Amino acid sequence: MSSTRSSVARTLMWVGIACAATSLATTRAGAEALLVIEAENGKVLYAQNAGQPWYPASVTKLMTAYVTLHAVQEGRLALDTPLTVSPNATAQSPVKMGFAVGTVVTVDNALKMLMVKSANDMAVVLAEGVAGSIENFAGEMNANARRLGMIQSSFVNPNGLPADDQISSARDLAILARALIRELPEYDYYWHLPGIRMGKMVRWNYNTLIGRYPGADGMKTGFICASGFNLVASATRNGRRLIAVVLGAPSSAARALKAAQLLERGFNTNSGLSWLMPPLGTVESVQPIAAAPPNLRDEMCGGHRKRPASEDEDDLAVASNNPETPYAVFLASLRPGKAKGAAPLQEVKMGEPVLVYTGTKPPAAGAQTATESKPEKKKAAAVKPTAKDKDDASTTSAPASRAAPKPKPKSSAAKDGANEAGKDGTSAAAASSGDAVAPKPKPKARKDAAKDGASATAASSDDATAPKPKPKKPAPKPPPMVITPAAEQSSQVK
């Protein structure tokens, strides 16, 4: 009897532990929405909370790009159409390019800045360029969402900044990503740009799978405190393209790792045991959940975090070079295939960032290099206020003074002459031409100056102004025809 009771007690204990573990797993899983599908036919390979409404954050910009590129296809504008930055665009919250009102950018450059840097101001520039206003553009976004079957989505702005009515789901975002791939194949490069470069500024894509995960070729990240870290990613292997959606990850590294795991799971579904898994249907068949979007603000940006979460935390992690950061752990976990000893994917080349610019024409290569080096030149001139710089200033102001630096000024008198020449720019030429004769104690220099008529006349003119501390005996002498004794005058004065 006692043995039966103890058996029942042990059974209940294990059931309790199992229930507790299940509840914890459910709580953890409830904070994320996951989905992976095949791009070609929309077949669902894995889904978790895929029908849960969610704040899309900057993943919204996929719809902004979709509407803009369809407008280009329809001929309403072109990729080289110039757009003007408005006050409404400059008023957007970061992340943004920060251009001044009136700055001109082309549709092409605005799209590149939108997809790589996730620039909120460029989203408004595109919206106003396509539809005239944010409200009109949001209407086009919602019309396209309904046409595509995104029944859980509503948009009120083109950049995904916090708004109660800016809602989507993993289901709807996968449908949108599939439409971008299938309907706009000629613009596919926008989804996997490694980075952008403007002058000396380089910004890499927030999608850290690009250049690291084998076959990664898209698409867009997003983050606000209420949504957590979102990512719509795509990858292609052996002609098979998959789309993974991660919503509500706790960090940028976690969302990238989760997306990589989803993609790996999808690519391995053709194994011999895949027939054991029940079919999940297509992405359109995913059932929507009638619920409000979860608000992760406290978890993402609460006071318990050492630093509030942000979209650019990957940049800070890279700059720190700390192998213990989640970002570094994520990079070390990704490897190209299952071969032992394979190199980490962070060693894979990212590719060159693409050039972006303001205006309608790219800057000339020489002009861009000159503008990039200007700050360095200013710093160099400010740091070296020495006698050498003063000599350089005197030589630039008077080409005739190039003869002066030939004899290296080893004496203190020569250095003092150089300093005086640097202090007075107007007398630099006179001092330098006079230095060609004055610093030399040897009489040979005087003979050479007398032999050269041009230098003699220059020396006489210099001596007329230079011998201020000496008696003014030469000044009252008016030698009308006696110009040759000028060398003698100079020898007497010196």
Q: Give the residue numbers annotated as catalytic, written as ranges.
A: 58, 61, 118
Does residue 228 come out as left (phi exceeding 0), alpha (psi in the -120 to 50 range) or beta? left
DSSP-assigned letter for residue 351:
-
- Smallest CA-to-CA distance from 288 within 144, 171, 149 is with 171
Tokens of 119: 């620039």
State the Cα–Cα distance between residues 124 and 110, nearest whole angstrom.
10
DSSP-assigned letter for residue 357:
-
Phi, psi of 71, deg, nearest 5: -65, -35
Would you say 49 and 152 are in contact if contact means Cβ atoms under 8 Å apart? no
State the Cα–Cα distance between residues 279 and 258, nearest whole angstrom.
22
Cβ neighbours for 460, distance < 8 A, ≥ 6 positions apart: 483, 486, 487, 489, 490
Would you say 80 and 360 are in contact if contact means Cβ atoms under 8 Å apart? yes
**Three-state secondary structure call for residue 313:** helix
**DSSP strand E in 193-334: where?**
195-198, 201-204, 216-224, 228-237, 240-249
Residue carrying the six token digits 């490069």: 189
| Torsion of Cα atoms, 120 then 124 then 125 then 129, to 10° | 150
Cβ neighbours for 393, distance < 8 A, ≥ 6 positions apart: 422, 425, 428
- Between helix 428-435 and helix 412-423 the angle, nearest 10°, is 160
State the Cα–Cα distance between residues 194 and 255, nearest whole angstrom.
18
Residue carrying the six token digits 């292997």: 237
